[in-house]
Amino acid sequence: MGTALESLSPELRAFIETQHVFFVATAPLGRDGHVNLSPKGMDTFRVLSPNRVAYLELTGSGNETAAHLLENGRVTVMFCAFEGKPKVLRLYGRGRVVLPDSTDWAELSRQFPALPGARQVIVVDVTRVQTSCGFGVPVMRFESERDTLVRWAESKGDEGLRQYREKKNRFSIDGLPTP
């Protein structure tokens, strides 16, 4: 059965640190808006405190999370144990976007590996921690990180990434602006 907690315990922090993938869900306020659910990986997640986490977001095909956070701040992060003992961990909270020109960028970005295409850090103030059994999650083995996104960002270069973000990441699929 699931358990609700107010903050991350040392055991849950250790669980997070062994996971290779996590999922981020956000949604706009409008009832016709699209819920966004994104897989993330590449050693881009950090626990900053028992009630604060952050992840480095790389340039990608959209920027839904940032648009939704700018509009309403709601976010859920989920981890699933694909190896070992079954477990699902959800972190509910309020998120914000930290851009490279922010005063918080230097301190936060150094928590992560230097990856090409880094566009923002998402910081989540966790208001609810919930675990569940994970019995329905399949057992899978981690083989390796993909290098496709890194190679793509390197091939674009800084100016190419700036142009790409300007063209493809300025608005959500529902027309919401991004920061």
- Find the CATH number of the domain harbouring 146: 2.30.110.10
Query: How far, in Å, are 12, 32, 44, 174 from residue 51 at the CA level?
Result: 12, 31, 18, 30
Q: Which is nearest to 127 in space by CA: 52, 47, 36, 46?
A: 52
- Domain containing 112 equals 3-168
Count of structural domains within the chain: 1
Q: Which residues are registered as beta bridge partners of 5?
A: 129
Q: What is the pLDDT of residue 124?
A: 98
In a domain, 104, yes or no: yes
Using a 10 angstrom Cβ sphere, with 0-12 exposed, 13-18 middle and 19 or more buried, the burial of residue 51 is middle
In a domain, 57, yes or no: yes
In a domain, 174, yes or no: no
Please indicate, yes or no, if residue 175 is contained in any of the structural domains.
no
Round to whole Å and give the CA distance between 44 and 13: 14
The pLDDT assigned to 2 comes to: 82
The answer to whether residue 79 is domain-embedded is: yes
- Cα end-to-end distance, the chain, whole Å: 39
Q: Is residue 176 part of a domain?
A: no
In a domain, 179, yes or no: no
Note the pTM of the prediction, 2 decimals: 0.96
In a domain, 9, yes or no: yes
Q: What are the pLDDT tens digits along the chain (179 aa)?
A: 689 999 999 999 999 999 999 999 999 999 999 999 999 999 999 999 999 999 999 999 999 999 999 999 999 999 999 999 999 999 999 999 999 999 999 999 999 999 999 999 999 999 999 999 999 999 999 999 999 999 999 999 999 999 999 999 999 999 999 99
